[in-house]
Amino acid sequence: MADPTRADGRTVNQLRPIRFQNGIAPHAAGSTLIEWGHTRVICAVTIEENVPRWMKEQGVSGGWLTAEYSMLPYSTLTRKPRDIAKGKLDGRSSEIQRLIGRSIRAAIDLEKVGSRTLCVDCDVLQADGGTRTAAITGSFVALSLAVKRLLTEKKLAENPILSGVAAVSIGVVNSTALLDLCYTEDVAASVDMNLVMNGAGEFIELQGSGEEATFSDAQLADLLSLGKAGIRELLAAQQQAISQD
C-alpha cells in the first residue's frame, strides 16, 4: 500500500524510477547519465596513462582511481555558484567526492589496472535528493564501460572489476523508515543515512545521523533491511545497463 506521507506516493520500500543512458560523454572512456527520479547525474571515466606522484615516491604499485563531484549552477531551485567562482571547493562537495572515490575504489583491483589513473567525474544536472548515491551508482556503470573498452583495446590483460557497487539513501520521516528519499523527504527526515554496499552484500560505507533526534536498534535494523533490498535492485539495474552497451 502506498504511504500517504511520501511525496510521490511510493511505498516505503520502493525506489524511484531509475534509468541509465550510456555514452552520454563520447570523449570519455565510459560514461552514463543516471536518471533517478528527478535527480540526474552525468558520470564519466577518463584515463590518464600515469599515476600520482605520491605513488611513485612511495613505491606503490598498480594504478589509482580518483573522483570529482560538482553540482552545476542550474541543478537546484536557486542558482548554485560554481566552486571556481568562490575560489575553493566547498566542504560538502569535497566530502562527497572523497566518498565516491572510496566507494568506487572498492569495486576494482588497482593492481590489475596497471600504471594508470582512472578519473571519475560526476556532474549533477538536476538535484532532487540522493545526488551522492546516484553519483556512486552511476559511477560504477561508467567504470565498467571504461574497463570494457580497455579490455577490447587489449590495454588490460584481465578484468579488474571485483564486484558491483551501489548506494542508496534511507531515513526516518514521521517515525516511518523509508527507502530512497527525495528532497522533500530528506529535509524532513529525523534520521538520514546513506548506504554503500557491494555485490557480495558487504558494507563499504554507512553514513548516518539523527537530525536533532535519536534512533533505536530496531529502527536501525529496519533502515538497513530497506537499504539492503534497495541495493540488490540497484545492482541488478546496473548489470542490465552494462550488458546493453
Percent of the chain with pLDDT strictly greater than 90: 84
Percent of the chain with pLDDT strictly greater than 70: 96
CATH class of 18-244: alpha beta
Q: What is the mean pLDDT of residues 9-30?
A: 96
189 in Cβ contact with 241 (< 8 Å):
no
Q: What is the mean pLDDT of residues 158-177?
A: 96
Predicted confidence (pLDDT) per residue in 117-148, tens digit: 999 999 999 999 999 999 999 999 999 999 99
Q: What is the mean pLDDT of residues 187-203?
A: 96
C-alpha cell recorded at residue 152: 577490447
Distance CA 180, CA 218 (A): 19
At residue 85, does pLDDT exceed 90? Answer: no
SS (H, E, C) the chain: CCCCCCCCCCCCCCCCCEEEEECCCCCCCEEEEEEECCEEEEEEEEEECCCCHHHHHHCCCCCEEEEEEEECCCCCCCCCCCHHHHCCCCHHHHHHHHHHHHHHHCCECHHHHCCCEEEEEEEEEECCCCHHHHHHHHHHHHHHHHHHHHHHCCCCCCCCECCCEEEEEEEEECCEEEECCCHHHHHHCCEEEEEEEECCCCEEEEEEEECCCCCCHHHHHHHHHHHHHHHHHHHHHHHHHHHHC
Q: How many CA atoms lie within 13 A of 4 on its CB side?
A: 0
| Residue from 16, 18, 15, 22 nearest 243 by CA | 22
- pLDDT attached to residue 1: 43
Question: Which residue did the predictor score with more confidence, 93 or 229?
Answer: 229
- pLDDT attached to residue 213: 87
Kindly indicate the confidence band of residue 83, based on its pLDDT and cuts at 50, 70 and 90. confident
What separation in angstroms does the CA of 190 have from each of 37, 64, 153, 172, 187? 22, 37, 49, 6, 9
- pLDDT attached to residue 233: 98
Q: What is the mean pLDDT of residues 56-70?
A: 95
Distance CA 67, CA 52 (A): 13
- pLDDT attached to residue 171: 95
